[in-house]
């Protein structure tokens, strides 16, 4: 083989190597672009949890009684509207005593104004003590007369009361307790596991699966709540439901929480946490 042939062969091999290197570079570049694109694509993470349906408000009503009950509308399981009076007391005795003590107070104050300069210091102090005692009695009676009924503060269902243990008619002084729950806009309360605390926020989409319900519910998380009990902190996601779901109170529901968009790299990193 001559020198020219060797030079030509060497030149040909160099061109082939350069071409191979060029195509290898192009391939690597394409792979790199594909990987970067794949890593940048946002994916939806679905967090599967369970929750329970609660009334939006639970409240215990209380009233001190020491008089006849004229009207008793307490029925466990009954629905009531805001402003309904479930107990009405006869306050005639308290009202009469209030008038009596107010008249006595006016009399004592008039006596003090007229005679304070003519009676001894001891007698003045005695009148002052009697006036102070009357003022206290009047204050207590005004509160008693004002609390002449137990009124419902919002649309509700009465779920329990201690009144059923009390005989009708005149009863000794004590406290009547009635526990009520709102019948408007129940809530779904979901306990959030510690590993999901930073992934769940208000406004995220959810899909709710209720037992015996053919249609799934699409709702957003309305707010997050933190409950601390016995030094243990529990995080909850709260979802408002329509009033028609009041019948499901106490029922468990499966909830798919759609987490924020994440890249493939985020999912890869989280898989090792």
Q: Classify residue 98 as left (phi > 0), alpha (psi -120 to 50) or beta.
A: alpha
Question: The tokens 């594909």 sit on which residue?
Answer: 34
Q: Classify residue 250 as left (phi > 0), alpha (psi -120 to 50) or beta.
A: left
Return the CATH number of the domain spanning residue range 43-55+185-270: 2.40.30.170
pLDDT digits (tens, 9 = 90+) for 28-79: 777 766 655 555 555 567 788 889 999 999 999 988 776 677 788 888 999 9
Quote the distance between the C-alpha of residue 158 and its chain's center: 19
pLDDT digits (tens, 9 = 90+) for 133-149: 989 988 888 887 777 78
pLDDT digits (tens, 9 = 90+) for 194-212: 888 888 889 888 889 987 6
Give the mean model confidence (pLDDT) for residues 167-186: 76
Structure tokens given for 271: 């898989």
- Choice between 217 and 19, residue whose per-residue pLDDT is larger: 217
Q: What percent of the chain has pLDDT over 90?
A: 21
Instruction: Specify the pLDDT at position 166.
Output: 60
Judged against a pLDDT cut of 70, whether residue 176 lies above it is answered with: yes
Quote the distance between the C-alpha of residue 13 and its chain's center: 78
Name the residue ranges covered by the structural domains of the chain: 43-55+185-270, 58-182
Instruction: Specify the pLDDT at position 70.
Output: 79
Residue 184 near residue 197, CB atoms below 8 Å: no
């Amino acid at each position: 083989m001559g020198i020219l042939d060797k030079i030509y062969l060497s030149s040909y091999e160099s061109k082939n190597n350069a071409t191979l290197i060029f195509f290898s570079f192009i391939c690597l570049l394409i792979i790199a672009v594909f990987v970067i694109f794949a890593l940048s694509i946002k994916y939806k993470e679905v967090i599967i949890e369970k929750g329970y349906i609660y009334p939006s408000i639970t409240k215990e009503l209380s009233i001190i009684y020491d008089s006849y009950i004229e009207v008793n509308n307490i029925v466990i399981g009954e629905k009531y509207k805001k402003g309904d009076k479930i107990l009405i007391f006869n306050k005639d005795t308290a009202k009469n005593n209030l008038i009596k003590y107010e008249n006595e107070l006016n009399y004592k104050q008039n006596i003090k104004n007229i005679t304070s300069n003519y009676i001894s210091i001891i007698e003045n102090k005695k009148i002052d003590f009697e006036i102070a005692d009357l003022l206290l009695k009047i204050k207590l009676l005004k509160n008693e007369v004002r609390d002449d009924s137990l009124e419902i503060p919002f649309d509700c269902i009465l779920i329990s009361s201690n009144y059923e243990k009390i005989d009708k008619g005149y009863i000794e002084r004590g406290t009547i307790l009635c526990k009520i729950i709102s019948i408007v806009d129940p809530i779904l309360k979901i306990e959030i596991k510690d590993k999901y605390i930073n992934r769940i926020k208000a406004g995220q989409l959810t899909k709710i699966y209720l037992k015996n319900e053919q249609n799934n519910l699409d709702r957003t998380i309305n707010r997050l709540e933190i409950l601390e009990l016995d030094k243990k902190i529990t995080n909850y996601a709260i979802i408002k439901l329509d009033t028609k779901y009041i019948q499901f109170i106490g029922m468990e529901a499966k909830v798919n929480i759609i987490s924020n968009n994440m890249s493939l790299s985020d999912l890869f990193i989280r898989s090792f946490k």
